[in-house]
Amino acid sequence: MTDNNQPIPSISDIHDDALAARLQAALDNKTKPLGALGRLESLALRLGLILGSEAPVLEAPQMLVCAADHGLAARGVSAYPSDVTWQMVENFLAGGAAVSVLARQHGLALTVVDCGVRRDFQARPGLVSRRIAAGTADASAGPAMTPAQCMQAIANGREVVRVLPGNALLLGEMGIGNSSAAALLLARLAGLDIGACTGSGTGLDAAGLARKREVLREVLALHASALAPLDALAAFGGFEIATLVGAVLQAAQERRVIVVDGFIASAAVLVAQALQPHVAQRCVAAHSSAEPGHALLLKHLGLEPLLNLELRLGEGSGGALAWPLLESACRILREMASFEAAGVSRKGV
């Protein structure tokens, strides 16, 4: 029985001691010194557990980039103007953005979702319209979203993923001001100081970063009663984060591998995990970004990033860069010979 009609699906515990033991035994029996492939082995084990297979295969990977504008951007929390959001959506669709290039390189199907951009787009392949409104409200003056808008965005994310093929979902986003929303969600849901959660985003200077932190403290104080995950999400935004929350919940319910990109995508996973505590079992952290809050967020989720390239782009770029590691980990399990099959002697034999 499925719960597709429920706003928040239940996510089962996929921990399986017997499968984990078989996967570990298979890895230990490959033609190599014990543990010689390091973290690639732990990644292979994780992917096997997520997909419930001793010979996992990643099929039709989907890069999902959700875009929306933020009312809070009017408070000067970003180095770039809000127009960059719609301009980058056009760049994604034209194939010129970093994530577009990387998706092509690695065979990732790219879907861009307009969740609430302040611009009307012409319909075209690769663009899905799930627009709630022309950007969220200013969170420094009131809630960024109404409860109904928040739940609609989550439902939209579930719907988008439900019709996508494959068993792997890579998360991407675009929205000027959304590192502020991510910092607010992290501070509230993880109980951390907003100063530690807040970075320069798209490139604020020292004065701009100080102003951003001051604004975010005001926002946190204004919404002091928004303590539950959905209340915090509605208070802080944005439409693209809420849509990604729904996408994560749907992917987790379907037992897809969820490849988590940077700070903002991770904030969506943080909310989803707060709603359903087994979500993170399905997640692989692609990288740790240059945003200071990201490492704190990943630690809170118990996820260890595969890469640290000092990225701070978003878009899903880190997920695309990490993707070959996931493919390699699966191939090690499926194709690498055992000592017995290869006729190779073991240590001390």
Task: Kindly report whether the peptide bond that precedes residue 238 is cis, defined as omega within 30 degrees of 0.
Answer: yes
H/E segment holding residue 81: none
Question: How much of the chain is helix, strand and coil, in % rounded to 5?
Answer: 50, 10, 40
Task: Give the full edge-to-edge strand order of the sheet including 168-174.
Answer: 127-129, 109-116, 62-68, 168-174, 257-260, 283-285
Q: Token match 């087994």: residue?
A: 278
- Residues 131 and 55: their CA atoms lie apart, in Å, by 39
Q: How many helices (H) and strands (E) does the chain have?
A: 14, 6
Q: Which of 41, 315, 327, 335 is catalytic?
A: 315
218 is catalytic: no
Q: Please, are residues 292 and 196 in contact by the beta-carbon 8 Å criterion?
A: yes
Structure tokens belonging to residue 66: 């959700």
Range list of β-strands (E), 166-299: 168-174, 257-260, 283-285
Question: Would you say the C-alpha torsion 228, 231, 234, 236 has a positive or negative sign?
Answer: negative
Catalytic positions are: 315
